[in-house]
Structure 1
C-alpha cells in the first residue's frame, strides 16, 4: 500500500537531482575598449574620483541657494521623475513575482454542497443497478505544486527579472541626473539673460545721456541734426533688444516651472544678478564612467536581462516537470469529515515535452540571441557617447575659461575707446559716428562676456552630468 508513495517520492527525488543545470550562457559583462586617460587641456589635471561614492546633490557646488531650493522642489514635484519611480516599483514587483517561481505554490480548498445524482446517468457496467441519489458533499484539501527547474527556465527568468529591476533603478537615477542637469541649465540660461538685461539697462542709461548731450549741442548749433538722429537710432535698437531678451527669459522661466511641477502661470523668478562661478570638477580615468554613469549601468543591466532571455528560450527544448501533491478529507457527512476513512491524497509527477513545433523554439532562441547582441551594441554605443561628452566638456570648459578672460579684457579696451571717442567729439576732432561706434562696441563686448559666462556655467553642468554626478570633497581637479 505504501509502494506507490515510495515510487512517487523516488521519482521526484531523481527529478530534483537532475535539476540545477540552467540552459543558456551564463552572463559575463563584455569588454569595451577604454583609453588610459583623457586628453587634458590647460588648466586641467587628473583627479582620483572614488566610484563607490553616492552621486549626491552636485548642484550645491555652484553655491546658489535659489538653485538648491528649485532642485529639491523638482525632486518632490517633477512628473517625469514620478513616472520613473513608478516604473521602478513595477520592476521590483515583477522581480519579486518571478522569484516566487522558485518556491512551491501551496493552497487550500474547501467545498460544501448538496447535490442530486441522476438515475439515468451514463453507466460503466450495464449489469450494475442505477439509482437517483441526493447527498451532501463536504471536502477540505491542501494542495501544492512545484515546477522542477530541470533546464533552469525559472532560474533564468528570475535572473532576467532582477536585472530588469536593477536597470529600472539605474534608469531612475539617470532620470534624476538628467532632470537636475536640465533644471540647472535652464536656471543658468535665465540668470545669464538677467546679466544681459542689466548690461542693456546700463547701456540704455548711457545712450540716453549721450542723446541728451547730442540734443543740447544741436540746440546750441554746435552739431547737426544727424548726430541726434544717429544716437536716437542706436537707443531704439537697444530698446528693441530688451523685449527680445525678456521673451527668451520668460521661456526659460516657464521651462523651470514645468520641471519643478508648478503651472507656468503660477511661477516666477525675480531678476537677480547672482555670482556665477563654475566649480572645479575632478577628472578620474575614463574607465570610471563604467561605474559612475547611470545610463551606462542601465545599458549593462539590459545586457544581463537579454542574456537571461536566451536561457529562458533554450529551456523550452527540455521537458516541463511538475510536482503536484495534495492531501485532504472528503465525506458526505460533516460529522465524519475528519475521520480516517475520509482521508484522500495524491502524489505524482507530470511531464510535458514538445516533440515537433515547426521550428518555433529555435526561432525564439535566435530572437533572444539577436536581442542580446543588440543590447551589447547599445551598451558600447552608450560608453562611446559618454566618453565623447566628457571630452567635449573638458575642451569646452578650458576654451570658455580663456575666452571669458579675453572678453573681460575686451570690455576694458572698449571702455577706453568710448572715453577717447567722447573726448575727441567734444573737442571737435572727430564725428559723432565714432562715439556711436564706440558705444555699440562696448555693448557688444559686455553682452559677449555675459553670454560666455552663461556658457561656462552650462558647460560645467554638462561636464558634471557627463561624469555621472557629484564627487567626494577630498578630490581636487583643477588648479
Structure 2
C-alpha cells in the first residue's frame, strides 16, 4: 500500500509540472502589441535589444573574470598519486619519502599525496584585486553607453515613422480634396462653364498625389522595419505607434541655457576608467621585481612491496609545511620594457581624453545650433498651417462662384499640403534635434 501511495503522489506531481510548463513558458515572453508610445518602445528596447543584452552579458563575464583572478587568494589544494613497477633495479632510499631497506627487492611502488598552498603575496593576484573595482565600473558604464545609444536610436526611428505616417495622412486628405476638385471641375466642364483644361489639371494633380501616397506607404514599411530592428522586435510581428501631437509639442522644448559638463558624458567617463586601469597596470610592472611568497604543505603516503598483492598492506606517511619564495632576478629587461609600454599607454589615454573633450564640445555646439535652428523654423511654420487652410477655403469657394481660376485652387491646395508637411517635418526634426542635444549634454535619460 505504501508503494502505491508513493507512486500516486509522484505521478500527481509529474502531471502537474507537465501541465503547467506551457504556462510557465508563456510568462517569460516579452511582447509588444497595440498602439505603443515612445516610452513603451524604449522600455521594450532596453529589455530586448541584443546590443543591450550583450552588454549585460559582458558585465557577467567580467564578474566571472574577477572571481577567477581573486581565486588566487584562496588556498589551493591538489592531490596526486602514482604507481610504478620496477622491472629492473629498485627505488632508492628516500625516493618516495620513506626509507626503503636496501636489497629488499622492491618492485612495486605507489604514493598518494595531498598538497596545499596559500598565496601570501603575489603580484598577479594583487593586480586582480586592484582592477576589480575599475573593471566593474567600466562594464557598468559600457552597459549604460549601450542603453543611451538604444534610447537615442529608438527615439529617432520612432519619430521618423510617425513623420511618414503623418505625411501619409496629409496625402490622403490631399487626395480627398483633389477628388472633390476633379468632380467639381468635371461638372463645370459638362455644364459648359469651363473648358477641359481644369479637370485635366485636377487629374494630373490627383495622379501625382496617388504616386506620392504609394511612395510614402513603402517608406513607412522600410522605416518600421528599422524601428523593429533597433527595438529588438521580431520582424514578422506587427507594430503600430500611438501619436499625440499636443504632448509631443510640449515635449519638444528644452532649456538651451544648460552648461556643458564633459563629466556627464558616458564616453568621457569610460575613457577615465580606462586610464585608471592602465595606471594600475603601470604599478603592476613597477613592482614586478617583488617576490611571490606562498605557504605550502604536503602530506604523502608511500606504499612499496615486492608483490603487488601486498603493496597496500602498510603505508609510510610523510608530511611537511613551509614557505616558498620566488624572486625574479633577470628577465632580459622584459619587465622594464613592459613598464615603459604601460606608461606610453597612459600617455596615449591622456590624449584620448583631451581629444574626447574637444569632440564633445564640438558635438554640443553643433547639437545646440541644430536645435535652435529647428526651433525657429518650427515656430514660424506652425503659423503657416492655419493661414494656408483659410486661403484654401476662400479660394475654393471663390472658384465655385467663378471668381478664381482652377489654377488658383491648385496653388492654394499645394500651399496647404506643403504647410502641413512642413509643420510635421519641423516638429519631428525639433524632437530629433532635442535628442541630439540631450545626448551631447549627457542628460539623455535611460528609463
TM-score by length of 1: 0.73
Indicate whether 1:376 and 2:350 are aligned. Answer: yes
The secondary structure found in structure 1 opposite 2:193 is coil
Gapped regions of structure 1 (runs ≥ 5): 1-63, 473-479
Indicate whether 1:116 and 2:85 are aligned. Answer: yes
CA distance, structure 2, for counterparts of residue 270 and residue 308 of structure 1: 49
TM-score by length of 2: 0.78
- Deviations 1:372-429 (Å, cap 9, x if unpaired)? 2222222333333333444444343333233222112122232333344335544545
CA distance, structure 2, for counterparts of residue 419 and residue 119 of structure 1: 117
- Deviations 1:281-328 (Å, cap 9, x if unpaired)? 4665423x41x3332222211111122222233344x15434342132
Indicate whether 1:442 and 2:412 are aligned. Answer: no
The secondary structure found in structure 1 opposite 2:299 is strand
CA distance, structure 2, for counterparts of residue 301 and residue 368 of structure 1: 15
1:283-362 paired onto structure 2 within 5 Å? 284-287=258-261, 289-290=262-263, 292-316=264-288, 318-332=289-303, 342-355=317-330, 357=332, 359-362=333-336
- Deviations 1:88-121 (Å, cap 9, x if unpaired)? 11112222222334x25331425375x4334436
Distance 1:120 1:327, change over 3 A: closer
- More RCO (CA 8 Å, sep 6+): 1
Indicate whether 1:277 and 2:252 are aligned. Answer: no
Gapped regions of structure 2 (runs ≥ 5): 1-34, 94-100, 304-310
- Deviations 1:13-70 (Å, cap 9, x if unpaired)? xxxxxxxxxxxxxxxxxxxxxxxxxxxxxxxxxxxxxxxxxxxxxxxxxxx9632322
CA distance, structure 2, for counterparts of residue 187 and residue 423 of structure 1: 39
Q: Is the 8 A contact 2:148 2:446 kept in 1?
A: no
CA RMSD of aligned residues (A): 3.1
The secondary structure found in structure 2 opposite 1:265 is coil
How much does 1:78 deviate? 1.5
| Selected match of 1:409 from 371, 383, 397 | 383
CA distance, structure 1, for counterparts of residue 337 and residue 385 of structure 2: 69
Q: Is the 8 A contact 1:118 1:131 kept in 2?
A: no
How much does 1:263 deviate? 2.2
How much does 1:194 deviate? 1.8
How much does 1:163 deviate? 1.9
Q: Is the 8 A contact 1:393 1:459 kept in 2?
A: yes
Q: Which segment drifts farther, 152-161 or 407-416?
A: 152-161
Higher normalized helix content (fraction of residues): 2
Indicate the residue corresponding to 1:469 in structure 2: 444
| Selected match of 2:175 from 204, 226, 231 | 204
